[in-house]
Amino acid sequence: MTNSQIGIIMGSDSDLPTMQDAIAVCTDFNIQCEVAIVSAHRTPGRMFDYAQSAHQRGIKVIIAGAGGAAHLPGMVASLTPLPVIGVPVASRHLQGLDSLYSIVQMPAGIPVATVAIGNAKNAGLLAVQILATSDGELLTKVQQYRQTLAQSVMDKQTKLEQLGYQQYLGNL
């Protein structure tokens, strides 16, 4: 059993620049995560082992990057009892639409949550929120994070009112 509660997986190291935002969220909330390259096509045995044993290692949520052929989130979801969040990774040819469509077209009974194309940060935040449903201290941190977001918007509004929109735009 590991101390990691969130598994962050991707089919290739080329997905890591996108997935690093999910890792950063885990770090910001002081949640250990394990990060692994688990290809649905090149290492299917590894994918099977990873997905089927994740809950036994203490993982509670899996975030899976969906690049290229985009099968990793769905295949992992079919093999694990854990919630899986798919991150569509923007591809060279189809800009991530192929990955998005793959994730949202899962058959009934095999759910995979998804976030916007390339938005691993939101995947990390969703994973944290899932963990927070059974962790009061973490829930408080999520609430504080949300308050910080709201305050940021209010600060921008105050600045906009003070400067006017043209000068505000000039400062962006």
* Model confidence pLDDT, tens digit, residues 1-60: 578 999 999 999 999 999 999 999 999 999 999 999 999 999 999 999 999 999 999 999
pLDDT above 90 (res 87):
yes
The pLDDT score that the predictor gives to residue 96 is: 87
What pLDDT band is residue 70 in, cutting at 50, 70 and 90? confident
The pLDDT score that the predictor gives to residue 98 is: 86
42 is in an annotated binding site: yes
User: Domain map of the chain by residue range?
Assistant: 6-134, 136-171
Note the pTM of the prediction, 2 decimals: 0.93
pLDDT above 80 (res 118):
yes
Q: Rounded CA gap, 108 and 153, in Å?
A: 39
Q: Long-range contact list for 15-21, CB < 8 A, 24+ apart? A: 15/65, 15/67, 15/89, 18/65, 18/67, 18/87, 18/89, 18/90, 18/118, 18/120, 19/63, 19/65, 19/87, 19/89, 19/120, 20/120, 21/119, 21/120, 21/121, 21/124
57 is in an annotated binding site: no
The sheet that has 6-10: what strands, in order across it? Answer: 33-37, 6-10, 61-66, 84-88, 113-114
Contacts of 42 (CB under 8 A, 6+ apart): 11
* Model confidence pLDDT, tens digit, residues 122-166: 999 999 999 999 999 999 999 999 999 999 999 999 999 999 999
Indicate the fold that domain 6-134 takes in CATH: Rossmann fold (3.40.50)
Least confident of 72-86, 93-107, 156-170: 93-107
